[in-house]
Structures are given as structure tokens and as C-alpha cells.
């Protein structure tokens, strides 16, 4: 809506033989709004979902290692992966969500850093209760309502 207004403003000033600095300013504003809109479309959904995931994890009293153990990862490996990771922090949740939300290259990076097998990765992000993927699914469902 605002982008259309800026386009009309530029056209209007062009028809009136306005100074170029007004046209340049309106064009710059239009470009910034387009870039901001693309960034919001890409980042806002995962940021909101990460906040809801964090609140679900906090309310459930679960932790990072618990989700990995549920995905058949040995407890020692889960503890190593989760050292210093707090799923009640939206930024931490988002870092783990990137692998399934955006896919490659985040998925390969996640697999390399965690040492998970393909089966463990599938379990970790399974859309089922008690799995991290199920929490993501619950979060996106709550947002959609």
C-alpha cells in the first residue's frame, strides 16, 4: 500500500518537473521499504515461531538434551550437543529451527555440528508430541489461530 503511494508520488513529481532530489528521496524510500518488506517476510515468521517454541518448552519444563535423547541420541552426546544451549531462549530455539525451516545449507551444518544420523535428524524434527519437530508444529499451529 505505501509502496504504491511512493510510486504515485514519484510519478506526480515527474509530471510537475520537480527537482531531482525529491524524486531521488522518494525512490530511496521505496527501495528501503521493498528491502524491509522482503526481510520481514523471510525473518518474521521464524522469529515469532521461535518465541512460541521457547514458551512451550518453558511451560513443559523440557530441555535441549531431552529432545535429542527422544530422537535416540545417546545421553552423553545429547549433553555435549546441548552444553550451553537454552531452548527457553528464542535465539537458541531459532538456531536449531533453521535446519528444518530453511533447509540447506542449515541442515548440513546442523548435521555436522551435532553428529546426528539421518534417522536421528528425522526423529528430532518429527511432527509428533514430545519431539522438537512436534513443538515447532504446535507453535506454528498456535500462531495460525
Produce one character per residue of 59-73: b if its CB has 16 or more CB atoms within 10 Å, e if not: eeebbbbbbbbbbeb
Judged by DSSP in three states, 72 sits in coil
Distance separating alpha carbons of residues 123 and 14, to the nearest angstrom? 59
Q: Does residue 1 register a pLDDT over 60?
A: no
pLDDT at 105: 92
Q: Does residue 145 register a pLDDT over 70?
A: no
Helices 132-144 & 90-101 angle (0-180, nearest 10):
100
Measured on CA atoms in the order 65, 66, 71, 76, is the torsion positive or negative? positive
Distance separating alpha carbons of residues 60 and 80, to the nearest angstrom? 22
The mean pLDDT value for 121-132 works out to 94
What are the pLDDT digits (tens) for 45-79? 899 999 999 999 999 999 999 999 999 999 999 99
Amino acid at each position: 500500500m505505501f509502496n504504491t503511494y511512493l510510486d504515485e508520488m514519484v510519478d506526480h513529481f515527474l509530471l510537475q518537473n520537480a527537482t531531482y532530489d525529491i524524486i531521488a528521496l522518494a525512490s530511496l524510500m521505496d527501495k528501503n521499504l521493498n528491502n524491509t518488506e522482503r526481510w520481514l517476510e523471510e525473518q518474521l515468521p521464524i522469529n515469532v515461531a521461535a518465541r512460541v517454541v521457547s514458551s512451550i518448552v518453558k511451560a513443559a519444563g523440557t530441555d535441549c538434551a531431552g529432545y535429542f535423547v527422544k530422537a535416540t541420541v545417546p545421553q552423553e552426546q545429547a549433553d555435549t550437543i546441548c552444553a550451553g544451549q537454552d531452548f527457553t531462549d528464542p535465539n537458541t530455539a531459532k538456531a536449531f529451527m533453521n535446519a528444518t525451516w530453511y533447509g540447506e545449507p542449515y541442515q548440513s551444518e546442523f548435521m555436522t555440528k551435532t553428529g546426528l544420523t539421518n534417522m536421528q535428524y528425522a526423529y528430532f524434527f518429527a511432527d509428533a508430541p514430545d519431539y522438537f519437530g512436534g513443538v515447532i508444529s504446535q507453535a506454528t499451529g498456535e500462531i495460525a489461530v
